[in-house]
């Protein structure tokens, strides 16, 4: 009888301590705790997952995301994500969408992505994040942080947006469109987000002043932006964001990523 009533101690992992909740200045995040410098010959699949498939992705997009080296590869110290127009097959365009889901989750701290992005009508490069609990809390409840989106037809407009669910479960969002004097596709730029408790700030090229700050903790219910998120790098084609290509954009189009770095303060 004793063996039937024996109580065994459950192996419950200790909770991960939360750090870096306090909002600090951009340049106080000096401790690099993770990075991918893309210095090898192949994509480090201990950091990234190829998210594959077509079907429009909820935005009527045209591309099929693949794991082909025609669409994503490492060369010259850069990750290259390449959108291609195909000559045959069921999808007119192919591209790549790389995510850190299940590999690396980011909470509070600063993420820098140095990248050169493409342009052209219907080309949609993005550097963004989704809540790591998306399998338990569907979008938009899990939260979405768009660090950088670009309408390819408007390459001087840097778009950063927070997406969430409202108390009624509806999709809500807040963000900023920063109009720049330069075409973002002509050179590499550093796109940064700093996450702290109840505050998310966006920066460009190491400027210590954020161009957009989201600190409306009452807009989302439940509030997802203190949770862990994973990172996404992709180039979409077509869809409602910038419309479909009209022939003015030549393919292939590339987003080149020099590095992704995650910093915290001491």
Catalytic residues, by residue number, are 144, 149
Bridge-based pairing of strands 63-65 and 93-95 is: parallel
Bridge partners (DSSP) listed for residue 195: 109, 200
Contact (CB, 8 A) for 134 and 143? no
Instruction: State the DSSP string of 44-70.
Output: -TTT-EE--B-TTTTTT--EEE---TT
Bridge partners (DSSP) listed for residue 72: 81
Q: How far is CA 105 from CA 121, 123, 145, 174, 216, in A?
A: 33, 28, 14, 23, 23
Q: Which among 183, 184, 181, 219 is positioned nearest to 198, based on CA atoms?
A: 219
Bridge partners (DSSP) listed for residue 131: 229
């Amino acid at each position: 009888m004793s063996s039937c009533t024996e109580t065994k101690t459950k192996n419950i992992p200790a909770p991960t301590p939360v750090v870096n909740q306090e909002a600090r200045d951009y340049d106080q995040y000096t401790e690099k705790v993770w990075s991918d410098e893309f210095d090898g010959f192949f994509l480090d699949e201990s950091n990234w997952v190829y998210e594959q498939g077509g079907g429009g992705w909820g935005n009527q997009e045209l591309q099929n995301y693949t794991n082909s080296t025609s669409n994503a590869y490492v060369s010259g110290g850069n990750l290259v994500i390449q959108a291609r127009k195909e000559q045959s097959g069921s999808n007119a365009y192919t591209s790549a969408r790389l995510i850190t889901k299940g590999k690396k989750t980011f909470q509070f701290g600063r993420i820098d992505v140095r990248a050169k992005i493409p342009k052209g009508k219907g080309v949609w490069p993005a550097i963004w994040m989704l809540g790591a609990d998306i399998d338990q809390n569907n979008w938009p409840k899990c939260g979405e942080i768009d660090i950088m989106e670009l309408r390819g037809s408007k390459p001087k407009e840097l778009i950063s947006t927070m997406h969430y669910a409202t108390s009624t479960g509806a999709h809500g969002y807040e963000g900023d469109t920063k109009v720049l004097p330069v075409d973002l596709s002509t050179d590499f730029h550093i796109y940064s987000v700093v996450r702290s408790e109840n505050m998310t700030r966006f920066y460009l090229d190491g400027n210590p002043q954020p161009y957009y700050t989201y600190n409306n903790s009452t807009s989302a219910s439940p509030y997802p932006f203190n949770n862990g998120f994973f990172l996404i790098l992709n180039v979409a084609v077509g869809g409602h964001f910038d419309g479909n290509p009209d022939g003015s954009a030549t393919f292939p189009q590339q987003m080149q990523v020099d590095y992704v770095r995650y910093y915290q303060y001491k």
